[in-house]
Chains A and B, each alone.
Chain A
């Protein structure tokens, strides 16, 4: 057998090139098959979320037939939620808390990053390191002392507590991203502007912000994601339904009711997950570039 194999391979070097090409094509197809498999696994929960959201409570409780398909698709769950005052309340709370968090975080981060990457002062190096370290402090380490502190401030059960606390989750990483982007802007650019008599605010607004726009988009998406999806802080500090954000409103308030309300719960999840999914669909590249900036440079 080995003799025939060598005999078949030896005389034609051309065949070997062909087999390598073939091998490469095989690898490509194997990759596609494996990726398809993983995509299917990964998309089971969101798929089932949408399927369930289109079912009536009767269909869910009947348990007749395949749960993975909808027999009588209906948008009733979505309509009902949209006209539900409590759900509207959660949505509005989430929107305004997120909007304020993003604005506040980005302002703090851009000012600090500009100062740390360009102006500098005694101890600015220590501060940059400190910023990175605080990014590694998870919310679950501090939520109990913060509970006491919010108590003194009278912010328990107020969405203002989130406006105060969410920036602590977003700002360190946003600052870190912005320092990276600002540092990559050539020094000659702002030196030239300084010689021309530009002030620091002018340099920031007219040079740095436009040039580092991809970084700003990445940091903004990060701040948005953190504020929109946060669960621990709102769960710990907001106990009444009218102050709840979407995540807590859905998990805590919707589940209390009817056992077969899963159609509506899943519709609520789909609606709450829609804004991040839409944002990522369009701006994914910026976000990934910001996230992996260190990895690609190395």
Chain B
């Protein structure tokens, strides 16, 4: 019997071995290798300890990257969460009535591969052919240099990310809304609760966990975003829109300074690890509640 159990767990381990192999070789090992790489000099011959980190953090251009990444991720996630929340409520209001069609239309931004839709945004923002500027001119406004000045470019990058990511928040929040028992609202209505009270005392507390998980998860993904900035501005104007990922790409791949590139990427690690810790904690708590 004991032997059977051992054989069973051996078989179980064998079934997991491709997964373990994949994670160890292509996720865990590269993480440690990145740390090793970041401690080498330019020619990758000598060990320099944390010199690369000290160098990067003292550089104004890199401090700007940190600022921009935080600005981008925090602003975009707040806007996505808010817009997703509004959209989920609107969808919930019309439940049953062609819901699938409306949902399908709202999900289009999220379905198109991001690099391709960003390319379309770039074309919409094009300095001399912008269809937005044509419309603005028709309405009697001046041209806007969407990608021409630092702050315009930052806002444009955030706008594209919100456009892409809001539908994801909508479906998560809509699913959460649907799981709130209708009786709670009925009881509140009988007690004379206003719409605002119902929102703050029923909807938001009931959705709390899913709101948290979605926001934390999105913060991770948005922090690590690459496609939008790479295509829309390539970090410009005057390095005003670089994020960790795009800056690491320019330093590590394009300029060929592998150790410095690895250093730039690794600066994301403490932020992402903290966020991941909270996601994991909430997911675990949730699983326990469900069980």
Contact = CB atoms under 8 A, between A and B. Distances in A.
Given A35-B87, A137-B272, A138-B220, 5 more contacts: A109-B19, A141-B31, A144-B248, A294-B213, A295-B179
B106 A38 contact: yes
B258 A291 contact: no
Nearest to B231: A251
Contacts of B279: 136
17 contacts: A38-B106, A42-B109, A45-B117, A48-B131, A108-B22, A116-B12, A136-B272, A141-B265, A144-B265, A147-B258, A148-B33, A164-B26, A236-B253, A250-B116, A251-B231, A298-B209, A298-B289
Nearest to B101: A39
Contacts, number: 285
Interface of B: 8-13, 15-16, 18-20, 22-23, 26-31, 33-34, 37, 86-87, 90-91, 93-94, 100, 102-109, 111-117, 119-121, 123-124, 129, 131, 134-135, 163, 167, 171-172, 175-176, 178-179, 209-210, 213, 217, 220-221, 223-227, 230-231, 244-245, 248-249, 252-253, 258, 261-262, 265-266, 268-269, 272, 275-276, 279-280, 283-284, 286, 289-290
Nearest to A118: B12
A63 interface: yes
A134 B15 contact: no
Contacts of A286: none
Contacts of B23: 130-131, 134, 168, 172
The 4 closest A-B pairs by CB, nearest first: A229-B113, A138-B224, A140-B245, A119-B12
Contact of A35 (B18, B90, B167, B280): B90
Contact of A298 (B106, B107, B286): B286
Contact of A147 (B12, B106, B253): B253
B29 to A, nearest CB: 8
B283 A144 contact: no
A273 interface: yes
A265 interface: yes
